[in-house]
């Protein structure tokens, strides 16, 4: 990255700033058991991390009506355990606060719907640092399409060349690359290193504060 070229940092939320994997997997297992009578292997759900919940559930439902019922079950169960299980990754709040202090424009680009995203961000103590929060309600095409990233950049008043997008999923990397931003893969999320390497981000991050080192070297 050219020195001083990055002025905005865009983050995915689940698996990137928020440690939500156990929450998501419990909701998945509960929903599948309730509707299918069995739970497909965890890997089948993990492979779709980064997609919207509706897209994920349609992969398992036998028809559109069942997908709607699954969605209600998932959300009801999530509401009952959300605050117990969701927490920020170590160093996430401190790193975001430092980026804010340094004057970077900050945005969230998430596949989580706005109500859940705001609840999670408030729980993690992150809301005050972000200028823009983009959820599926804001766009026609969710990640891995570039539209959510481009919408965030429009709201920030930034060009793709001025932005770094950080996410834990190959879908995040694909969205950022298609939008023309620099991309960084978060290795602390649920995806194996090989999956992120195959997606081809500009950088891989081992810990939250690595983004500061990356930007210091840019």
Closest CA to 202 of 187, 181, 217: 181
**Cβ-based neighbours of 79, under 8 Å, separated by 6 or more:** none
Answer positive or negative: Cα dihedral of 165, 171, 173, 177. negative
Question: Is there a contact between 190 and 168 (Cβ–Cβ < 8 Å)?
Answer: yes
| CATH level 2 (architecture), domain 8-19+87-216 | 3-Layer(aba) Sandwich (3.40)
Range list for CATH 3.40.50.1000 in the chain:
8-19+87-216
Specify whether 12 is catalytic.
yes
Question: Is there a contact between 186 and 157 (Cβ–Cβ < 8 Å)?
Answer: no
Q: Distances in Å between the alpha carbon of 34 and those of 42, 63, 69?
A: 16, 15, 10
Specify the CATH class of 21-85 in words.
mainly alpha
Using CA atoms, how far apart are residues 212 and 166, in angstroms rounded to an integer?
A: 12
Q: What is the DSSP letter of 111?
A: S
Give tens-digit pLDDT for 150-160.
Answer: 999 999 999 99
pTM exceeding 0.85: yes
Range list for CATH 1.10.150 in the chain:
21-85
H or E element that contains 101 = helix 92-101
Give tens-digit pLDDT for 61-104.
Answer: 999 999 999 999 999 999 999 999 999 999 999 999 999 999 99
Percentage, residues of the chain above pLDDT 70: 98
pLDDT score, position 4 = 58
2 confidence band (pLDDT: 50, 70, 90): low
Give tens-digit pLDDT for 102-141.
Answer: 999 999 999 999 999 999 999 999 999 999 999 999 999 9
Mean pLDDT, residues 191-209 taken together: 96
Residue 3: pLDDT above 60? no
Residue 163: pLDDT above 60? yes
């Amino acid at each position: 990255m050219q020195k001083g070229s990055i002025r905005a940092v865009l983050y995915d939320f689940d698996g990137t700033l928020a440690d939500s994997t156990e929450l998501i997997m419990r909701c998945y297992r509960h929903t599948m058991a309730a509707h299918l009578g069995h739970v497909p292997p965890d890997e089948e759900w993990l492979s779709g991390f980064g997609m919207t919940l509706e897209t994920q559930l349609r992969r398992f439902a036998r028809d559109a009506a069942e997908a709607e019922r699954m969605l209600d079950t998932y959300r009801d169960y999530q509401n009952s355990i959300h605050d117990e299980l969701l927490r920020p990754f170590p160093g996430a709040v401190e790193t975001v606060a430092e980026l804010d202090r340094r004057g970077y424009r900050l945005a969230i680009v998430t596949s989580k719907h706005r109500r859940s995203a705001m609840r999670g961000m408030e729980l993690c103590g992150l809301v005050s640092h972000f200028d823009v929060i983009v959820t599926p309600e804001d766009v026609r095409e969710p990640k891995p399409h570039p539209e959510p990233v481009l919408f965030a950049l429009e709201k920030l008043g930034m060009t793709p060349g001025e932005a770094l997008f950080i996410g834990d999923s190959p879908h995040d990397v694909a969205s950022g690359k298609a939008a023309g931003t620099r991309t960084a893969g978060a290795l602390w999320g649920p995806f194996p290193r090989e999956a992120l390497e195959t997606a081809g981000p500009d950088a891989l991050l081992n810990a939250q504060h690595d983004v500061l080192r990356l930007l210091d070297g840019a």
